[in-house]
């Protein structure tokens, strides 16, 4: 669903706020305010969220590829690491389309050769984990395809690329799911975690698959589905399941970090903000139990 009313906030503010919320939510396996990685901190994500806001604000005048590249460059200046390449790849077309996922898909179809070149440069600059080499559409080589064709080549191994070919179907599903739990009285932190479990249960995580193999990603999907099922059966068991999943994801350093799913969630929150589907002010945490 979507709202006919314009967003209460600018596109840049929506982007920064979506990224701040996504990074702050206590999602299993991800960095959040209570859990840093050795080489990547919660502060890195906060700084990245702040600097991409002005970049997203200028998306219409910059164009698709230039927006992604400028966002990565700004992030590198403040964080020096890749915190948000996938998020920027999703936010740039969504921002240009003001949250309309169908229109975003059309903008991707209309992307120019310059857009593709800028996006390839952004990917090389960000150096995402587990990228490897491929026969067609390798970003280490000059672009040979349209943006849509390049994403179609990667869609079976990368969930970000798949959004470009499906009019952001998984982003829409996550946005709807988060919204439904907010409407049911859940606070935003818990709703985002539920959204993560939904996406993981459906797809695993393509970053995990690239780094550690499809079987481990499939195992992740099974564990997420089991944990999510507990939510409507036994809430105490559900929270124990979330904690157990978090422990398992962190058991191998941060190689099991479901980072692609985090990018999808940031985009889902951006859609909810731009489409004015959140009741403000949002309560992020549930009140403490007395």
Domains of the chain, residue spans: 11-168
Structure token digits, residue 45: 């994500």
Q: Which of 88, 101, 107 is nearest to 147 (CA)?
A: 107
Q: What is the pLDDT of residues 218-255, one digit of tens each?
A: 999 999 999 999 999 999 999 999 999 999 999 988 89
Confidence of residue 287 (pLDDT cuts 50, 70, 90): confident
Contact 3, 276 (CB under 8 A): yes
C-alpha to C-alpha distance for 90 and 83, rounded to whole angstroms = 14
Express as a percent the part of the chain with pLDDT over 90: 87
Mean pLDDT of the chain: 93
Measured CA to CA, the distance from residue 259 to residue 111 in angstroms comes to 26
Q: Is the pLDDT of residue 136 over 70?
A: no
pLDDT computed for residue 13 by the predictor? 98
Identify the residue whose tokens are 């980072």. Answer: 259
Q: 75-78 contacts: CB < 8 A, separation 24 or more?
A: 75/48, 75/51, 75/126, 76/125, 76/126, 77/51, 78/44, 78/47, 78/48, 78/50, 78/51
What does the pLDDT read at residue 134?
45
**pLDDT value, residue 172:** 98
236 CB-contact burial (10 Å; exposed 0-12 / middle 13-18 / buried 19+): exposed
Average pLDDT (107-132) is 90
Model's pTM, two decimal places?
A: 0.93
Write down the pLDDT at residue 3.
46
Mean pLDDT of 166-171: 98
C-beta pairs of 278-282 under 8 Å, 24+ apart in sequence: 278/179, 278/182, 279/182, 280/8, 282/182, 282/188
pLDDT of residue 7: 74
CB atoms within 10 A of CB 146: 17
Stretch 97-123: mean pLDDT: 97
What are the contacts of 137-146 at 24+ separation with CB within 8 A?
Answer: 142/117, 143/113, 143/116, 143/117, 145/116, 146/111, 146/116
Query: Are the C-beta atoms of residues 262 and 30 closer than 8 Å to each other?
Result: yes
pLDDT at 99: 97
């Amino acid at each position: 669903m979507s709202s006919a009313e314009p967003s209460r906030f600018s596109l840049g503010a929506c982007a920064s706020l979506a990224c701040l919320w996504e990074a702050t939510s206590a999602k299993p396996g991800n960095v959040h305010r209570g859990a840093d990685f050795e080489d990547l901190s919660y502060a890195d994500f906060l700084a990245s969220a702040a600097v991409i806001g002005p970049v997203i604000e200028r998306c219409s005048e910059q164009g698709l590829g230039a927006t992604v590249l400028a966002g990565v460059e700004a992030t590198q200046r403040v964080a020096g690491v890749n915190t948000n390449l996938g998020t920027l790849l999703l936010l740039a077309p969504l921002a240009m389309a003001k949250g309309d996922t169908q229109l975003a898909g059309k903008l991707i179809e209309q992307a120019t050769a310059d857009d593709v070149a800028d996006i390839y440069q952004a990917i090389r600059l960000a150096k995402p984990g587990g990228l490897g080499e491929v026969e067609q559409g390798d970003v280490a080589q000059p672009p040979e395809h349209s943006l849509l064709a390049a994403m179609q080549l990667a869609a079976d191994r990368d969930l970000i690329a798949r959004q470009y070919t499906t009019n952001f179907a998984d982003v829409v599903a996550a946005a709807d799911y988060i919204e439904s739990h907010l409407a049911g009285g859940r606070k935003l932190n818990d709703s985002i975690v539920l959204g993560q479990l939904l996406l993981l249960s459906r797809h695993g995580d393509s970053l995990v698959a690239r780094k550690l193999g499809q079987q481990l990603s499939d195992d992740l999907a099974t564990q997420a589905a089991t944990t999510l099922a507990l939510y409507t059966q036994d809430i105490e068991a559900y929270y124990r399941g979330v904690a157990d999943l978090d422990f398992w994801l962190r058991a191998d350093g941060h190689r099991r970090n479901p980072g692609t799913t985090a990018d999808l969630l940031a985009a889902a929150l951006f859609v909810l903000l731009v489409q004015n589907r959140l009741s403000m002010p949002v309560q992020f945490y549930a009140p403490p139990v007395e």
